[in-house]
Amino acid sequence: MKKYTCIIIDDDEIDRLTVLSFAKRFPVLTILGVFESADEALPFIEKENIDILFLDIDMPGLNGIDFRKKTLEIPVCIFITAHPEHAVESFEIETLDFIVKPLKLDRFTQSMNRIEEFMEIKLKASLFESSIGGDTIYIKEGHEQIKVKLHEILYLEALKDYTLIITDKKRHCVLSSIGLLLKEDHFQSFIRIHRSYAIQKQYIQKINSTEIVLNNDMTIPVGRSYKDNLSLLL
């Protein structure tokens, strides 16, 4: 079993112990430290290789948002906070999940499932290679090269520094941000409609100002910053 190292930071003792007790239920986690302030944790992370942060936001001294900005090299950050108003800001600094207190075991379990899926994708992901023909890409999966026809791709989904390439048969992953991918000549037919999604118009079943339904019944939200791109789909 692949194991992941983590630390817990929360100035509230009960919340800190709750996260600790839940984390101990998952053998995949190795808990390296538990801290009551971000300032206390900073020297520790300089000496340790950490995979996951379980992090409060509203703390004396260095708050959780500023702490995350200083620790972006840590792959996974899970904010656990009583302040939902920080959600939008948190996802601008590479946050995998945002949990509003009080923390419940089922919600923590959902977050653990997301962590394991993300880590698995991160391990498998590799840069794609373009074919000479121009309508096909080859995606490295282990020692194999998987051929994917561009016209078979239903949509692209951003996942931090990676992009999921979704077909009706399989989900592939490449080590490239969605923004960089869409600058490639091969992906000029894709229209970005959300910070996390880009689609091809031939797969649209229904469209309105807030969401798009694809032929496979997948519903994709339309981001406010991308509403002008809807005209490209009509």
Domain containing 137 — which CATH number?
Answer: 2.40.50.1020
Angle, vertex CA 21, rays to CA 64 and CA 160, nearest 5: 40
202 and 105 fall within a common domain: no
pLDDT over threshold 90, residue 76: yes
Residue that finishes a domain, picked among 104, 123, 142: 123
Domain with 57 in it: 4-123
Output the average pLDDT for the chain.
89
pLDDT over threshold 60, residue 116: yes
Residue that finishes a domain, picked among 68, 97, 123: 123
Mean pLDDT, rounded, for 105-116: 96
Cβ–Cβ < 8 Å for 210, 222: yes
137 and 104 fall within a common domain: no
Mean pLDDT, rounded, for 171-183: 89
CA–CA distance, 110 with 85 (Å, rounded to integer):
21
100 and 166 fall within a common domain: no
22 and 115 fall within a common domain: yes
Mean pLDDT, rounded, for 187-210: 91
Residue that finishes a domain, picked among 123, 143, 169: 123
pLDDT over threshold 90, residue 185: no
143 and 77 fall within a common domain: no
pLDDT of residue 209: 86
pLDDT over threshold 70, residue 189: yes
CB-side exposure of 80: number of CA atoms within 13 Å?
Answer: 29
pLDDT category, 120, cuts 50, 70, 90? confident
Looking at the structure of the chain, the number of domains it has is 2
> What is the reported pTM?
0.60
64 and 166 fall within a common domain: no
CATH assignment at residue 48: 3.40.50.2300
Mean pLDDT, rounded, for 31-37: 97
159 and 110 fall within a common domain: no
